[in-house]
Structure 1
């Protein structure tokens, strides 16, 4: 992304590799896209879980939020370097681990994730607009926020980067204003840090929610770095992404925890409005604009995933800007139905949703990072990603698929949610450590399995691949 805020044009490319002559931008652009996109209502709500649903004292809640983001951010940011190196979307690169057809399961799960987060953001955006303008019903607010997101998705990569730069300044100032207003104008109760109860379940729940917030970005981190020059560098990409996403997440989550500790209840958005009388309209409008920004990112990457699935099943499909627009509207329609259906019981649905996401995303991120950094050291035959037979990676890559299944299965006894509580989690009093177990088992399991089968997965000489088999979609 070039410096400045030049008027963006409609992006032409979708899932094909970005040629070197179209690469642009610097690592610092990764800071603004991740900082600006995180300051929104859903981040505040996620932070509020710590003092409402999990009932922690504020001090412990802040510690849990910090630990979860710092740990989860490592996994999230490690994916960032893959974009400049390979120049393709994250889920296309996943074909290098799972095979061209084996990757479909993961891609479909990620599409569901995007739709779920998109719907969650729509609900909160609609609620925020309704609080600001009571004449705007929640369903109408949901539609308004969604339409803005669709427009940004249709324009694509450059507009989303530009939008995030603007939100870095405006949302950052709004966040600072909210903190100052609550602390120095509204005031806080004298027993603020004495409210709540410390529990292992609450602490690990808070840490897990914050860690998942970061890990959930992993399936599309490189989508927003794939236009950057190949020489951008792994370290600059990592630190710009890590700093932007962790800082941009921790601050609004702290605001949410503070709101939950003071107001309580199951409506953090309304609670925030109560704590910022006189400026709540400005705060909620800015945070709603942040929702539209983040939803544009979710929708954009969800669309790339849908295109990835479609192009896998039908090689002759060559989607460009028009195809992306059509798919964007279709995905929006599905997410809109989900948002309207779940708007009245949002916090419970959202809590269960992020728990399920953690179970399926943890083994994927472990496999992807181990493969990229330890097995292949960033060297992939990108042309094979677009071959009907998967090229050197094949249609199905056994080690990755087996490791993914194992990574999910080993977590089952540790599951702890309203939907299911495993026997080990029950013995631990409901403490959910499944994602930790998933990482600890999946990483070495996949590494050993991949090394054993390495002779089958060595990159081909691109010159040996027929030209008609390597053309990008």
Structure 2
């Protein structure tokens, strides 16, 4: 059933509290909703979280960037990474299926399982990082005795949202935007007065090339990390929205949404104030640290829900590979979400170490495994198939016209990981070529260009 172009009826807004049952299957046109504005709000809201603020702290703390150069690295990195992310987002309105289901078109039904498993691990890694941040914030405000409680409270609330589905998640994300924006700006003001406006470094103190490129790469990966699931949300848009609109709206929303809290985080880390964010607001009222914590906790809730919801869809895609006749419903999605939440919570409870270091290392590893996948997916979608996929084949046990295993695509993916090793430079490993250039990490560039080019040449050869 197609939707007339001039139609703006009840399908423009989802029923927030009705259980979503589409899961991994194509979203019918009559159940699609939203427009460019609602999509813009989703991707602004998706980035209004404490992880963005903590990531901003990395720029002055680990990369030694001044405030001005932090802003340049944030904008430039997120803009470049956002282009790749938005190219994935544009696939959603056209195909109407989750990104991991579409990945079968490149790697085959069984061959895609490796990619899906890696993406699920990525979701769990980000969720446990959010949980660790929430625990750390709870300990700062209420003491260590209550810190683990925050994990379980968050897990329960996330489970409820994932059970209801996309409609309520979208509403919560959009509704949180003004609360987060006002809170983050007031927090920056509190730091301004607490530090008497003094910065630890001059605004435009020139950084080393290594530090700037490392900071630049941080912004690139922040956006690329959305690539495996950005179309999980854009697939609910009416097909008339179009790929071009989805691309520019997602790009603008995610870059703008990320830049504000990340820059505020870099500002907090650049001031001479040595206390925590709660110390900065405590002099004005004893209730302010609690209110600030509630906003920060809500931000982890919002972002973790996005991770867990898509992790549940990816898990259903993984399982449906072995049972092509299985039609997972909202109940299956809820059960998958609970298992993912339980796993993430248990890992977090046993997780120790500095949160900033953990976050930085997780991001570095993700960049290495996501770059080759994003290159192969985008080359296949835009340069090889031009968006034309046989949807029915993507749900067949034998992969239909795409087969069970596309060995050349998997070989390109593994090649994309291997060629990055000499160029890697992070807290876990520094490759020999990166060492020759002062520890500058070029790996993600190699991880996109090499597998993308090899896959393009292979796919265009005469069969």
2:354 is paired with a residue whose SS is helix
Among 62, 70, 77, which residue is 1:61 paired with? Answer: 70
Worse-matched range after superposition: 332-341 or 197-206: 197-206
Gaps spanning 5+ residues in structure 2: where? 1-9
Are 2:283 and 1:274 equivalent residues in the alignment?
no
Q: 1:292 is matched with which residue: 301, 317, 322?
A: 301
Matched, 1:79 2:88: yes
Does the CA-based 8 Å contact 1:129-1:285 persist in structure 2? no
Deviation larger for 316-325 or 249-258? 316-325
What's the TM-score once normalised by structure 2's chain length?
Answer: 0.92
2:3 is aligned to none
TM-superposed CA distance for 1:181, in Å, is 3.2
Deviates more, 1:55-64 or 1:341-350: 341-350
Indicate conservation of the 8 Å contact 2:69/2:204, yes or no.
no
Which secondary structure state, in structure 2, belongs to the residue aligned with residue 380 of structure 1? coil
- For residue 247 of structure 2, the aligned residue among 233, 238, 243 is 238
1:431 pairs, out of 440, 449, 452, with 440
Query: Structure 1 pair 195/145, CA: closer, same or farther in 2 (3 Å)?
Result: farther
Query: Residue 21 of structure 1: which of 30, 52, 64 is its match?
Result: 30
Matches within 5 A, 1:72-471: 72-134=81-143, 137-183=146-192, 187-189=196-198, 191-193=200-202, 198-262=207-271, 271-277=276-282, 278=284, 279-452=288-461, 455=463
Q: 1:296 to 1:191 in 2, by over 3 A?
A: closer
Cα-to-partner distance string for 1:328-358 (whole Å, 9 max, x where unaligned): 1111111112211224432222221111100
Contact 2:69-2:203 at 8 Å conserved across structures: no
Note the C-alpha offset of 1:395. 0.8
- Give the Cα separation in 2 of the matches to 1:13 and 1:261: 46
Count of aligned residue pairs for this structure pair: 450
> Separation in 2 of the partners of 1:5 and 1:280?
35
> How far apart are the structure 1 equivalents of 2:434 and 2:223?
23
318 and 178 in structure 1: CA distance in 2 versus 1, 3 angstrom threshold: same
Once residues 144 and 350 of structure 2 are traced to their aligned partners in structure 1, the CA distance between those partners, rounded to angstroms, is: 21
- C-alpha offsets along residues 393-412 of structure 1, whole Å, 9 cap, x if unaligned? 11112332122122111111
Distance in 2 separating the partners of 1:263 and 1:99: 54
SS in 2 for 1:315: coil
Contact 1:51–1:261 under 8 Å retained in 2: yes
- Compared CA separation, residues 421 and 102, structure 1 to 2 (3 A): same
| CA shift for structure 1 position 184 | 5.3
Q: Cα offset for 1:310?
A: 0.7
Inter-partner Cα distance in structure 2 for 1:30 and 1:179:
27
Q: CA deviation at 1:135?
A: 7.8
Tell me the SS of whatever aligns to 1:358: helix
Deviations 1:400-448 (A, max 9, x none): 2122122111111101123222110111111111001222222222111
Deviation of 1:7 after TM superposition, in Å, equals: 4.0
Correspondence for 1:458: none
Quote the Cα distance in structure 2 between the aligned partners of 1:190 and 1:397.
54
1:29–1:412 distance in 2 versus 1, CA, 3 Å? same
Q: Determine the C-alpha separation between the residues in 1 that align with 2:178 and 2:79.
A: 23
Q: How far is the alpha carbon of 1:271 from its aligned partner?
A: 2.7
SS at match of 1:144: helix
Q: Which moved more, 1:308-317 or 1:66-75?
A: 308-317
C-alpha spacing 1:263/1:145, structure 2 compared with 1 (3 Å): farther
TM-score (norm 1): 0.90
Q: CA deviation at 1:4?
A: 6.6
Q: Would you say the 8 A contact 1:2–1:26 is kept in 2?
A: no
Match of 2:5 in 1: none
Q: Is the 8 A contact 1:260 1:271 kept in 2?
A: no
Label 1:5 to 1:389 Cα distance change in 2 as closer, same or farther (>3 A): closer
Q: 1:63 to 1:401 in 2, by over 3 A?
A: same
Q: Which moved more, 1:414-423 or 1:78-87?
A: 414-423
Matched residues in 2 for 1:283 and 1:26: separation? Answer: 32
- Consecutive unaligned residues of structure 1, counting only runs of 5 or more, are 456-473
SS in 1 for 2:321: helix
